[in-house]
Amino acid sequence: MRRLILVTGAPRSATTPVGNVLAACKSTVALYEPLGPTGLSWIDTPFPIAGDALGITRDDLQRLVQELASLSFGPLKSQVRVGHEPTLVSRLFGSRTLHSMRLSRFQPWAANVIWKDPHAVLLASDLIELGVAVVVTARRALAHAASYKRLGWHSKAAEVYPRWSARFGPCSICETFLPRNTDHVVSAALLWRMSYLPLVRAGSLNKVRLITSADLEANEKAAYLKLIRDLALTPGRRVDWMLSRTQRGSSADPTSRRVHDWTRSVATVNSYWRQLLTEEDIDTVEQITSDLETRLFDRSRSCQNAG
């Protein structure tokens, strides 16, 4: 059976570019967000958690791993996201999820499946136990919150928290700020915390490959090549080409609703929060995330130094 490699993290934490680079390695295929809003129809709970009545049973989690690794997919949800108008591309080709699944079937010889999916972040510890290699991306919490504010997004933190606390235990910080979840910045910071705290509580940080925005800012090419080496993947010409395309964009429009802008540098993407967040926003994000962010980024720094 093919080796399954999950690339996950809080949404807006660079799962897409990291997944793209890994999927460019030799003998790999990519699956784009099979647990997302246009993904597998039999998993209909946002951010599923392993356990009875938590989103996916443990038996079904094993089924999911087997199906993704064998490239055997069931029916998908609607290819038009709720609240979105269908585009010409979606009408003709469906979602990126569907497109990735179709392409994967043209490469049955591939030995590795790169499963890019922030919606799987709360399954990370359980998937490790099932033998899945897990890459976790983490962006500075202030940059993450600014991204939600720029896009006008609200997270599903309030919806997910009852299931989250039933599995991972209550969090007093989350419960303090959940009544303010209608605020873009608060909702982003809550989901950021809920994405990474289970890994710390389960002692799983030393079992994942952690790649942070700080790693990418310091030396993007070196960070990617180390990750590829740690996963025993083989870079080829596509990876060389992608890593040679240094993005030099130095401006970011805080009013833009564009989800991905491949012309901007990593430093730009991770610094425009200074233009967008108020002092109150900054204080709030730090109250929700600072203790956990320190642990994540210190862990990542020690791993990079060891490499």
- 49-64 pLDDT per residue, tens: 999 999 999 999 999 9
Give the pTM.
0.91
Contacts of 224 (CB under 8 A, 6+ apart): 18, 21, 216, 239, 243
Sign of the C-alpha dihedral computed for residues 40, 41, 42 and 45 taken in this order = positive
- Least Cα distance to 43 among 16, 61, 62, 66 occurs for 61
pLDDT band at residue 255 under the 50/70/90 scheme = low
pLDDT band at residue 239 under the 50/70/90 scheme = very high
- How many angstroms separate the CA atoms of 240 and 24, rounded? 9
| Cα separation values, 94 from 43, 118, 239, Å | 19, 20, 27
Buried-exposed string 28-59: b where 16+ CB fall within 10 A, e elsewhere: bbbbbbbbbbbbbeebeeebbbbeeebbbeee
Helix, strand, or coil (residue 32): strand
pLDDT at 104: 94
pLDDT band at residue 271 under the 50/70/90 scheme = confident
> How high is the mean pLDDT of the chain?
90
Q: Which CATH number is 3-306 given? A: 3.40.50.300
Determine phi and psi for 6, rounding to 5 degrees. -90, 130
Total residues belonging to the chain? 307
